[in-house]
Structure 1
Amino acid sequence: MDAIFDIELKLLLEGVYLRYQHDFRGYAVSSMRRRVQQAMDHFGCATISQLQEKVLHQPAVFAQMLQFFTVQVSEMFRDPSYFRALRETVVPVLKTYPSVKVWVAGCSSGEEVWSLAILLREEDLLSRTLIYATDINPDALRTAEAGIYPLDRIAQFSKNYRAAGGTGSLSDYYTSNLHDARFDRSLREHVVFADHSLATDTVFSEVHLISCRNVLIYFNRELQNRATALFHEALVRRGFLGLGAKESLRYTEQSAQFLELDRDERIYQRI
């Protein structure tokens, strides 16, 4: 049965690529198996073939499938030590440029984008910075752009903010009601949200910092190499790349093109 499951999985991913031009064929198989099984349970399908029929014939089902194909797990200032390292090691260099461009690749529902905007404002850098926030999931991008998060998540966000070296209070940056917290619209003025796929799209701008955290772990080796090649091409000379805590450039084709600036926080600098 496992062999048939994998055959059907390949057919589904090929069909999605041909029908919708979203390419998940280079994603790690073990992770994709779990996600597709969850989708089958959600849509009440006994086989992937049944799921494929729904996905290919009903675009609304495919839109829902993106929630399973992509991982939407994040929080503001997630892994606070990473943001502290950016503040202490990367930001002083960024301040030497007259203007700065930052790319948050795979921004999901936007928590990291808003975190970086707050950090850069506190460092008096946001006014001359443009942040590109990209993802392949349109629903996630809409959430990211709105900057509205459930109030019950704010306590953890605030704890992370303080641990990341925040210089004020996170409450300085949002207004709240009984249910939600809405982040300051003036932060949004420095962000461009856009659809972009690391699997199929090309470089769109030269940037000084790329933050792509907890995305590469879901790619196979070939797709990891494609993504890191895009990052190398996009970065200015001696630009910075930040990855997730369980990610590394060590086994990618681009490893020799980067200096490991902070091993613990997975921060690299383009040579």
Structure 2
Amino acid sequence: MVGILREEEINQLLTELIDTYGYDFTGYSMPMLQRRINQFYNLQQIGNFPALRYLLKNDPQYFRLFISKIMVPVTEMFRDPPFFAALRTTILPALSNFPLIRIWHAGCSTGEEVYSMAILLKELHLLHKSILYATDINPEALETASKGIFPQKPFQHYADNYLKAGGELLLQNYYGPYLGQAKFRDELKKRIVFSTHNLAADASFNQFQLIICRNVLIYFNQELQNRVFTLFDSSLESKGYLALGSKETLRFSHLNQHYQKANLKEKIWQKL
């Protein structure tokens, strides 16, 4: 083991990343960052802190590797089936009268939940008039998402999730074999726009009827959470919906009074 970076060294590193790349992690949970940065530091066997600083500041490819390792993607298709069932039966039908449905998946990771949404929209006959914006801070994860090609091993579990979420067909109707992996149909992918976006620093870029950001805010401190909620509020149309993860809530936010719970069991709110 190389050693453990001190908190002041990690803070210095985070400040330099803002100056060099515009990536601001200072509002993230410090224990989480310390743990993941030290894991990266030791696995890379760089030798010392100045060497790590030099590589991150002067090698953009190394910085991409750093981001991909400390922002560990955790996702799956139709994750938490009751949540997707609520989208299918309540939220998406409420959006059906819009001529164009704009949905933002913020912190989309490798994209499994975005493709899940595209399948829901297809089965509700809404995909043709929908645009899904899938963003993440991790360019490596976004590259995986944009290809729409995934290992086949977890797809039996995904198929179970799909059926529990009210799936009308078989999940395999939406993907095919590709070099030993599974590749989603082009009709799903062509309705998705993939782009890097840093919730901690970047501005709003459109108006949406539905914003989904699940299990991302749990890694942010309260100040950054409020910043992100303000960003979402400015990006959401009146009567639009905001969906969060099972351990996240709008209840204690400064914007809580401007929203009402849209689903009693799931973390989905509607803007008043």
TM-score range (shorter-chain normalised) is over 0.9
Give the conservation status (yes or no) of the 8 Å contact 2:142–2:194: yes
Q: Which whole-Å deviations, capped at 9, do the CAs of 1:198-239 have from their partners, x for residues lacking one?
A: 111111111100011111011111111111111111111110
Cα separation, 1, equivalents of 2:189 and 2:233: 27
Q: Which whole-Å deviations, capped at 9, do the CAs of 1:103-127 have from their partners, x for residues lacking one?
A: 0001110101100000000001111
Cα separation, 1, equivalents of 2:220 and 2:47: 26
Amino acid at match of 1:173: Y
1:226 maps to: 227
Deviation at 1:91, TM superposition (A): 1.4
Cα separation, 1, equivalents of 2:49 and 2:195: 31
1:78 maps to: 79
Deviation at 1:85, TM superposition (A): 0.7
Q: SS in structure 2 opposite 1:56?
A: helix
1:103 aligns with 2:104: yes
Q: Which whole-Å deviations, capped at 9, do the CAs of 1:7-46 have from their partners, x for residues lacking one?
A: 1111011011111111111111111111111111221145
Give the conservation status (yes or no) of the 8 Å contact 2:5–2:38: no
Q: SS in structure 1 opposite 2:215?
A: coil
Give the conservation status (yes or no) of the 8 Å contact 1:12–1:49: no
Give the conservation status (yes or no) of the 8 Å contact 2:105–2:211: yes
Gaps of 5+ in 1: none
Amino acid at match of 1:163: K
Q: SS in structure 2 opposite 1:109?
A: coil
Instruction: Give the TM-score normalised by the residue count of structure 1.
Output: 0.95
Amino acid at match of 1:9: I
Deviating 4+ runs (over 3 angstroms): 45-50
Cα separation, 2, equivalents of 1:49 and 1:252: 40
Give the conservation status (yes or no) of the 8 Å contact 2:5–2:49: no
Deviation at 1:69, TM superposition (A): 2.9
1:185 maps to: 186
Cα separation, 2, equivalents of 1:121 and 1:164: 14
Cα separation, 2, equivalents of 1:198 and 1:241: 15
Cα separation, 1, equivalents of 2:61 and 2:178: 32
Cα separation, 1, equivalents of 2:5 and 2:128: 55
1:148 aligns with 2:139: no
Cα separation, 1, equivalents of 2:110 and 2:5: 34
Give the conservation status (yes or no) of the 8 Å contact 2:207–2:237: yes
1:28-47 correspondence to structure 2 within 5 Å: 28-45=29-46
Cα separation, 1, equivalents of 2:13 and 2:50: 7
Cα separation, 2, equivalents of 1:119 and 1:4: 45
Give the conservation status (yes or no) of the 8 Å contact 2:131–2:191: yes
1:230-269 correspondence to structure 2 within 5 Å: 230-269=231-270
Give the conservation status (yes or no) of the 8 Å contact 1:131–1:192: yes
Q: Which whole-Å deviations, capped at 9, do the CAs of 1:63-107 have from their partners, x for residues lacking one?
A: 100112313111110111110011111012111222210000011
Cα separation, 2, equivalents of 1:32 and 1:4: 11
Gaps of 5+ in 2: none
1:25 aligns with 2:26: yes
Aligned length: 270
Cα separation, 1, equivalents of 2:261 and 2:26: 30
1:3-14 correspondence to structure 2 within 5 Å: 5-14=6-15
Deviation at 1:57, TM superposition (A): 2.7
**Residue 73 to residue 88, structure 1, CA distance change in 2 (3 Å):** same
Instruction: Give the TM-score normalised by the residue count of structure 2.
Output: 0.95
Cα separation, 1, equivalents of 2:58 and 2:203: 29
CA RMSD after TM alignment = 1.7
Percent identical: 41
Cα separation, 1, equivalents of 2:229 and 2:84: 21
Amino acid at match of 1:101: R
**Residue 26 to residue 47, structure 1, CA distance change in 2 (3 Å):** farther
